[in-house]
Structures are given as C-alpha cells and as structure tokens.
Amino acid sequence: MNNPQASPELASLRVQIDNIDQQLLTLLNQRALVAERVGEVKKREGTPFFRPDRVAQVIDKIQTANPGPLKGAHVAAIWREIMSACRSLEAPQRVAYLGPAGTFSELAALQFFGTSIEHVPCANFDEVFHATTAGSADFGVVPVENNTEGVVTRTLDLFLNSPLHIIGETSFLVRHHLLRLSNSLDNIEVVLAHPQALAQCQGWLSQHLPKAERRAVSSNAEGARLAAGNHNWAGIASERAGAEFGLHVVAHAIQDDAFNRTRFAVVCLPQTQPRRQGGLRRHTAAVWQAGLPAG
C-alpha cells in the first residue's frame, strides 16, 4: 500500500523536527562526554557515583525553568532517563530487586534510577539484602509499606541486622491485574501471587473467583510466569509482567483499594553512599519501636 503524500506544510514541519532531533542528539552526546569526565574525577576522588539529592536538584531546576508546552512531569521523566544513560557511562549501576522481570519492585527501581541499569533480580527480599551487602549489587530496592496492608514486616525485620542504609525512596499507585493464557474468567482453578497482592485483592477474588485456590508465591511476576504454563491458572501482576510472559489481562485493576499505593526504599552500604538522615529512616525506626510482629 502506498503511503499518502504529505502536504508541503507537513513536509516542512517534519524537516524542522528532523533538524531539531539532530541538534538534540549532538547536545546529548556532548552531555555524555562531560558525564564520562565527571566519572573519572569521582573515581580519583573516591566520591559516590550516584547521589539522589543531586538528581532531585537537577530535575527540580529543569522543571522550574520549563516554559512549556511540555508538562513538568514529562520533562522530569525525560531528564531522569538522560541522567540514567549518562550515569551508566560513569559507572554501571547494579540494582537488586525482587524478581523475575515484571515485578513492582523492578518498576520501582526503574522509576528511581531510570532504565540504564544492570538488573539483579532476586528470589526474595533476603537475597536483595544479601546481594547489596555482599557487593554483587550496588543498590537494592525493597517495598516497606502499603497503604492497604500496612508495613512489609519481612523488609523491616531484615533492616534490624543489616548494615545497609536507606538513601532514597519512591512510591507509586499499584494496579493489580488478573493475567491468564486465555482471555476469559472461566475455569480458573488457581490464582497465584505474592501474599501481599492476594491480600490486597481478596474482596474481588471472593466475589468473582470464590472457588479458585489462592496460592502464594515469591513474587507477582513469578505467579505470572507459572500461570503461563497452565491454562487453568491465573496470576495477579502488572501489565509489564503480562507482556513479559505472553498473558492476557482478563481483569484490570482488581485491587480492593482504588488508590493502592506502595512505598519502596532504596538501600546501599554506607561506604557507597552517605547515610540519609530523617525521612523513611525515622519512619522505619518508629515502626520497629512500635513492636511489630516478626515477618
């Protein structure tokens, strides 16, 4: 099929966009070259390669200077990716999180660091702490609380005997979707997900799949992976996990709380980053003092 010929006006605008793209590419590579020099200086001086406060300052400055029409949130997302790509030239960042691909922990890691990271998926929260402490990962990302189910007690328990410090945090609205090989709710015998997700969706499951077994697994993405191997199983996970394992989204946003939000902590060894004062660290200390039950 022949593509319709563009009008002279549209063709002229496309030429302008192509020219601007070339200018942007040149400037981005200039920025990358400076970032490489920054990395060399940091290596000589022994200073941290990643400083979340510096990232926040740069993005805030760019958003403040933004005249539009681009929205501030979109500008922030663009600059986070630019900084992530440039940082990867300074030093590759290995980030541990609860795997496999498609978990909300992975999404939290990408939201905080950008996509230019080395992925270190782990089987459970204990492995995230171990990988970060042992140095096979530079940073770890772990959930600490959900507005529906409260604190993630296993994460807080691990902090009690860990040398890791919290150097950042991120949060987002969590949307749980029911994923399956066939695009139907019929004949679902087992629903697989992380225990937190099963708890956050118990109302919907009781109403729509009362006879289905609820089976806890190590992560939502692992539940999706298992569901991809059985036509009578379904998983609760993100759309990203569904795409990763070739599953249909047979029910969207089945969490009982429409504003289901989870907070994640970013952790590392104190030699890698200065200890962050206040914020989430004070929050976790207060939680421990309140006498939470063990995980």
Domain with CATH 1.20.59.10 in the chain: 27-88
Going by C-beta distance under 8 Å and a sequence separation of 6 or more, which residues neighbour residue 160?
288
Predicted confidence at residue 275, as pLDDT, reads 39
Average pLDDT, the chain: 86
CA distances from 129 to 48, 64, 107, 255, 267 (A): 20, 37, 18, 28, 8
132 is catalytic: no
- Amino acid 133: pLDDT: 95
Q: For residue 100, say if its preceding peptide bond is cis, omega within 30 degrees of 0.
A: yes
Asked if pLDDT for residue 290 goes beyond 50, the answer is no
Read off the pLDDT of each residue in 27-46 and give the average, rounded to a whole number. 88
Q: Strand, helix or coil at 158?
A: helix
Q: What was the pLDDT predicted at 2?
A: 60
**Percent of the chain whose pLDDT exceeds 90:** 53
DSSP state of 5: P
Q: What is the pLDDT of residue 3?
A: 63
User: What topology does CATH give the domain 92-173+260-289?
Assistant: D-Maltodextrin-Binding Protein; domain 2 (3.40.190)
Of 3.40.190.10, 3.40.50.720, 1.20.140.10, 3.60.150.10, the CATH number of 177-251 is 3.40.190.10
pLDDT in the model for residue 56? 85
User: Looking at the predicted structure, is the pLDDT value of residue 288 above 70?
Assistant: no
Strands 139-146, 261-268: pairing is antiparallel
CA–CA–CA angle 291, 126, 194 (5° rounding): 85
Higher pLDDT pick, 87 / 208 = 208
Among candidate residues 170, 245, 264, 284, the one labeled active-site is 264
pLDDT tier for residue 217 given thresholds of 50, 70 and 90: very high
Give the model's pLDDT for residue 279: 41
- For residues 100-118, give the mean pLDDT: 89
- pLDDT for 271: 56
Q: How confident is the model at residue 274 (pLDDT cuts 50, 70, 90)?
A: very low
CA distance 231 to 214: 16
| Region 104-123 average pLDDT | 91
CB of 141 within 8 A of CB of 94? no
- Give the pLDDT confidence of 130-141 residue by residue, as tens digits: 999 999 999 999
Span 170-175, mean pLDDT?
87
Residues of the chain with CATH 3.40.190.10: 92-173+260-289, 177-251
Among 103, 132, 170, 262, which one carries the catalytic annotation?
262
| 256 pLDDT above the threshold of 50 | yes
The answer on pLDDT for 282 being more than 70 is no
Superfamily of domain 27-88: Chorismate mutase (1.20.59.10)
Residue 284 pLDDT exceeds 50: no
Q: What's the whole-number mean pLDDT along residues 253-267?
A: 90
pLDDT tens-digit readout, 80-91: 889 888 888 877
Give residue-wise pLDDT tens across range 40-89: 888 888 877 788 878 888 889 999 999 989 998 899 888 988 988 888 88
pLDDT category, 173, cuts 50, 70, 90? confident
Based on the residue annotation, tell me whether 262 is a catalytic residue of this protein.
yes
pLDDT value at residue 273? 42
**E strands within 229-285?**
233-237, 248-251, 261-268
Comparison of pLDDT for 54 and 34, the residue scoring more: 34
